[in-house]
Structure 1
Amino acid sequence: MIAIINTGCANINSVRFAFERLGVTPEIISDPSQLNGFERAILPGVGHANVAMKRLEEQGWREAIEQYERPLMGICLGMQLLCDYSEEGKIEGLGVINGQVTQLQTGKLTSPHMGWNTIQTVKQHPLTAGIVPDDQVYFVHSFAHTVNSSTLAQCEYGQPFSAIVANDNYAGMQFHPEKSAKVGAKLLNNFMQWQV
């Protein structure tokens, strides 16, 4: 059983449909007390970090997520909220994944970083099983996790940044696996198989 956490800050239908294509029917939950009833969970997110973090706090998700001991993965903004700190809104995150989220220094490149880009595996991990250097995934973001010891895979757009991160039972993908075709489906399937 997989839960998709609904904080009102994401289009959760595309995530739900991606799992359904894998033969899994997730349940969308809006009450933190429901979380422990699931074997794994997804925290999606779009929009501004300050607004999303405020909703998480107000709805009581911080404690539920911090105490969750099974696989939990953030997607896009959801990943950033799992980290220590975000420059966007200058907010303290949930702190379950080590690292800072900073504004991408894109130079002459367009911001936000939007579209397909290649990811490079930094560490072998069950989440990156079967991913090869030419694999591409779909990004939409202007802030990103700085590459550090939590980084499993990275990407470059003006600068290197973390594409996949993990710490203990928590993980995050900066891109949208639900919009990343066969590679995204492989990554979601890896998440479903991940044992912690």
Structure 2
Amino acid sequence: MIGVVDYGMGNLHSVEKALQRLQASAIRLSEPSQAKDCRALLLPGVGAFDPAMQKLNSSGWSQQLKQWSAAQRPLLGICLGLQLLFESSAEGQEQGLALLPGRVEPLPPQAQERCPHMGWAPLTAQHPSPLLAADEQPWMYFVHSFAAIATDPDTVTATAPYGDHAVVAAVGRGALQATQFHPEKSGRCGLALLQRWLSSIQ
């Protein structure tokens, strides 16, 4: 069973729809105690960093996610769910989950690019990841104004172009994986990524 963390800041319907298409059993989790029966957690996120962390802290999810990750149990973050894994964000004052070293910063100003960055972009693999096939350069759908700056470059598994810059598109370390893009909105390539994640946690 895949537990989809429901803390009031995620587009849960599209994530659940994608998992259903892959015939994966999933359940919404409103309470941290419900996670005990799950083999993996998925942390979605849409919105701003501080309100999301406040909800995670007040609901007990912050502690649960830290314990879950410390036990090397599978956790997948999506979009804001990736950013929350880092130590802090320029978007607010709250401390992040600090499961990965680094900080979240605004996208660099680019004359030819709009912000927020909305649309499709190709991934370039940086380090091996259970989410990505080594011989492919899939296009994924992004909606974001901030991007992670990882202190440990080995945690960056893929980047994507944004003007003249390459920004972090996916990160990972062991059972902890995350994407800045929305695989559930990325068509065939996104479903293939989610299927690889499901296969890696069996």
Say yes or no: does 1:176 pair with 2:182.
yes
Task: Report the 3-state secondary structure (helix = DSSP H, G, I; strand = E; otherwise coil) of the residue aligned with 1:28.
Answer: strand
Q: 1:155 aligns with which of 154, 160, 168?
A: 160
Gaps of 5+ in 2: none
TM-score, structure 1 normalization: 0.94
* Aligned length in residues: 195
Deviation of 1:195 (Å) = 4.1
Deviation at 1:149, TM superposition (A): 2.2
Contact 2:140 2:182 in 1 (8 A): yes
The 5 Å alignment of 1:93-112 reads: 93-108=96-111, 109-112=113-116
After TM superposition, the score normalised by the length of structure 2 is 0.92
Task: Note closer, same or farther for the CA distance 1:131–1:63 as it changes in structure 2 (3 Å cut).
Answer: farther
Residue of structure 2 in register with 1:132 after alignment: 136
Give the superposed CA RMSD.
Answer: 1.5
Q: Deviations over 1:149-169 (max 9, x none)?
A: 210011121322111101232
- Paired letter, 1:186: A
Corresponding residue to 1:81 among 60, 81, 84 = 84
Match of 2:170 in 1: 164
Unmatched tracts of structure 1, length 5 or more: none
Give aligned-pair identity as a percent.
37
**Are 1:91 and 2:94 counterparts?**
yes
DSSP 3-state at the match of 2:154: coil
Farther off after superposition, 91-100 or 77-86? 91-100
Q: Displacement, 1:63?
A: 1.0
Residue identity opposite 1:78 in structure 2: G
Q: In structure 1, what is the Cα distance between the partners aligned to 2:198 and 2:17?
A: 15
